[in-house]
Structure 1
Amino acid sequence: MKIGLISNTLSQRNKRGLPRPSGASSYGVEVLHRPLDGITGMAEVLDEFAAAEVGLIAVNGGDGTISAALTGLMERPRFEELPPLALLSGGMLNMSAADAGLRGPPEKALARLAARAAEPDLAGACIEREVIRLSHSRNKPPVYGLFFGTAAIYRGIVLCSERVHTVKLKSTTAAAATFAYMLGRYFFGRGTADPLLAGDDMTVRFDGAPGQEVTQFLALVTTLDRLMLKSRPYWGREAGRLRYMGITYPPRRLGRSAYRVLYGPPDRRLPENYVSHNADKVAFEMTCPFTLDGELFDPEPGTPVELSGAGRLRFVQC
C-alpha cells in the first residue's frame, strides 16, 4: 500500500510539529509526505499522488484543508477510482475528522493508519459520506465540503477563531466554550438585540420547490453524522442526501429546546420555528456571509448559494 499524506503546516495543531511517517515502513507501507503552507499547491500534490498510484490519501489539517482536498478530487478527475481518504485531526475544530476520520494526535493516528493499511483488505475500515457541492459565484468554480452554516453559525465560528482559540483550548473544549458563551449572551446579555445573535433574512428552497422567505437565527446543511460535541441536530424524514436544520428568528424557548435540538430522538418534538429536512438540493438567496468547513465566504449579489450532493466517498476509520 502506498499512502499519500498532505499536511497543512499552518493548521492549528500542526503548528506544534508534523507527524513523522518514517515508522510506516515497518509495516511495509510507503508514505509520500507533502507538507503545504496553507492549501496552495493542493492540485499539484494530488496530480503527483495520481501519477504515483497511491492507494490512500491522508489529509492532516483542519476542516478547511479537508475541503480543499475534496474540491481538488471532485472538481477535476485524476484517478480511475478515487482512493479512500483518511482525515487526521491537525486543525482547529476538526469536526470532519471527528465524524469520518481518525481521532487523536496526527502522529498516533498515522501509525494506526499505516498498520491498518498493511492489512490485505481496507474495505472493512471504511465508512461513506456524501460530499456537498457548493456553487456561489458566476465566475468561480464550485467548492466541496461536508458542513455548511450561516447566520449565528458563521458568527460563532468567527468568535471561536478570534477569541476562544487564542487561549489554546482543545477542539471539543473550544466548541463547548463557544456554545456556552453564546447561550450566556442570549440569556444574560441583550438577548436577540445582541448583534451576535441577530436574525438574517433569506429565501430557502428545497429540491426546486417554491422558496420560503424566512428570517433565520441559524441554518446548517451537512452530510456528517455527528457534529461538534457528538450532536445530531437534524431530524428530517425525507430521503434526500443533505441534512438541513434551521431555526427562525427570534428563537423561541431556546434554553428549553437546546438539548432536544442537539441530542433528541428521531421524532423529537420542538416549537414550529425549529425545522429540519432532508433534500438533494438546498438553495439560499441571501446577503449574509456563510461558511463551508470553517472557510468563510460572502455571497455574490444576485447569485444564489446552491448546495447539492456530489457523490459518496470512502473514509478510513481505525
Structure 2
Amino acid sequence: MVRIALLSNPKSTGNRAQLPAIRSFCANHPEIFHYEVEHVDQIEAALRTIARVDPRILVINGGDGTVQATLTELYHSQLFGDAPPPVAVLPNGKTNLIALDLGANGDAIGALQRVLEIAQGSLEEHIVTRELIALSQEDDGVWDGLKPTIGMFLGGAGLAEVMLWCRNKVYPLGLPNWLSHAVTLLALIFSLVLGMRAAFLPERAAPLKVSLIRQGQLQGSFSLLIVTTLRKLLVGSKLAGRPSSAGALQLMIVEQSAIALVCAFVASLFGKLESQLMRGIHVRRGDEIRIEGDRSSVILDGELFHASAGRSIVLRQTAPLPFVRLAA
C-alpha cells in the first residue's frame, strides 16, 4: 500500500548531497512511491502518475521553486479531483520558507521519517490549511490569459533587489548557504539601512504603487514589500493568526527609511508587527492586491516577475489547500 508519494527535484541545492540517502531510504520502505523530475515541465506528468497510486500524503523534496511549481500544477490540473492529498515539504533548497512554516526542521531524512510515521496513523490532527497566492499579470488592465502562478511568499521592492543580488552575485560563488546569507544580510544593511550606493551592492528599488481592493493604496519607494499566506516570515515572526474576513493575503510594506526598517526588524523579532503602529511600516490584509511600477520586480517563491508601465501584477487568494505540519 502506498502511503506517501515523494516528488524529488535532483537539481535542487540540498539534493545534490542528500538524494542518494533519500533514494536508499525509499528503497527500504516500499510504502513510499518516489518520483524524480529534473525540470518543472515534468511536474504535471509526475502528478498524473502520482494520482494513479492515490497516496495519503504528497511530499515535495526540493527548494521553494519546486514547491511553487508543484502547487501551481496541483491547483490548476485538478488531477486529484476535489480532494487532493495533503502536502508535506521536506527541508531543502536555500531558503526553505515554506518547509519552516510547516514545521520541517533539521535534515530531509528525519523529516521524511516523521511524515512516514504520520501517514501510518490518523492524519486529522496533523493537517493545517493554507490559502495560496495566485499571481497573474495584466496589460493595460486586461488579463494576459496565462494561468496564474501559485505560491506562498512574495518579496518585492528593495527586498526583491537584495534577493536578486544574492541569486546572481553570491550563490554563483559556491559559498555555504549560511555564509551566502550572511553576506546578503550585510549587503541589505549597507544598501537598505545605511543607504549606501556602490556598483557591487544591490540596486535601489524603483517607486511603485500597491493597491488593496477596498483599502486604498500606498505609493512611493519602499525598502521591503512582502505578501504571504505563511504564518511565519523570514525572521520567524508572525504577521497574524488565522485568516480574517479581511483576507488571507498578509501584506507588509516598509518605507525607504533606515529607522522604519530597523523598527520593523526589531518588532518582528518579538512578533509585534501587526500590533505595532509605527511610522513608515504598513501591515494590511486583503484578498486582492495590485502592484504597479515602471520597472519593479517581485519574486514569488523563487520565480521572477516584472511590473512595468501599463503592465501590473495582481495577487489574489485561493481556496485553502491541506498541508501536513510536521512539528509535534
Residue matched to 2:163: 157
- Give me the CA root mean square deviation: 2.9
C-alpha distance after superposition, 1:132-191 (max 9, x if no partner): 1111250422100001111111112123323444454346x6545523431134556626
Taking the aligned partners of 2:287 and 2:164, their CA distance within structure 1 comes to 28
Report if aligned partners of 1:21, 1:31 keep a CA contact under 8 Å in 2: no
Residue 127 of structure 1 aligns with which residue? Answer: 128
Q: CA offsets, 1:215-265, max 9 Å, x none? A: 222211001011223133579987321100111234544335531145342
CA distance in 1, matches of 2:24, 2:17: 18
Q: C-alpha separation between the residues in 2 aligned to 1:21 and 1:114?
A: 15
Give the whole-Å Cα distance in 1 for the aligned partners of 2:254 and 2:24: 48
| Match of residue 90 from structure 1 | 92
Matching residue of 2:291: 284
The residue that corresponds to 2:249 in the other structure is 242
Structure 1 residue aligned with 2:212: 206
Amino acid at match of 1:294: G
Moved more, 200-209 or 252-261: 252-261
* Residue 302 (structure 1) shift: 2.1
**Residue 227 in 1 paired to residue 229 in 2?**
no
CA apart distance, 1:68: 0.4
Change (3 A) 1:234 1:246: farther
Deviation, 1:316, is: 1.2
Confirm whether residue 269 of structure 1 aligns to residue 277 of structure 2. yes
Q: Which 10-residue stretch deviates more, 210-219 or 280-289?
A: 210-219
Q: Give unpaired runs (5+ residues) of structure 1.
A: none
Report the 3-state secondary structure (helix = DSSP H, G, I; strand = E; otherwise coil) of the residue aligned with 2:307.
coil
**Structure 1 residue 317: Cα displacement:** 2.3
Asked whether the equivalents of residues 254 and 264 of structure 2 are also in contact (C-alpha less than 8 Å), the reply is: no
Secondary structure of residue in 2 paired with 1:219: strand
> 1:301 and 1:76 mapped to 2: Cα distance?
32
CA distance in 2, matches of 1:43, 1:267: 42
Q: Return the alpha-carbon distance in structure 1 between the equivalents of residues 216 and 96 of structure 2.
A: 35
Q: Secondary structure at the match of 2:238?
A: coil
CA distance in 2, matches of 1:78, 1:123: 22
**Cα gap change, 1:188/1:285 in structure 2, threshold over 3 Å: closer, same or farther?**
closer
| Separation in structure 1 between the aligned mates of residue 31 and residue 308 of structure 2, nearest angstrom | 44
Q: Deviations over 1:270-301 (max 9, x none)?
A: 11x21110111111112311100122222365
Using the TM superposition, give the Cα deviation of residue 55 of structure 1 relative to its aligned residue in structure 2, in angstroms.
2.0
Give % identity.
26
- Structure 2 Cα separation of the partners of residues 12 and 144 of structure 1: 22
Match of 2:325 in 1: 317
Equivalent residue pairs, number: 314
Query: Residue by residue, what CA displacement relative to the aligned partner does 1:108-136 show, whole Å, maximum 9, x if unpaired?
Result: 211221122112x1111122211111112
Which amino acid in structure 2 is aligned with residue 31 of structure 1? I
Q: CA deviation at 1:303?
A: 2.9
Residues 17 and 230 (structure 1), Cα distance of their counterparts in 2 relative to 1, 3 Å cut: same
Q: Distance in 2 between matches of 1:221 and 1:147?
A: 6
Select between 186-195 and 237-246 the one with higher mean Cα deviation. Answer: 186-195
Query: Counterparts of 1:246 and 1:148 in 2: how far apart (Å)?
Result: 12
Q: Quick one: which amino acid aligns to residue 33 of structure 2? A: L
- Please give the TM-score of this superposition, normalised by the length of structure 1: 0.87
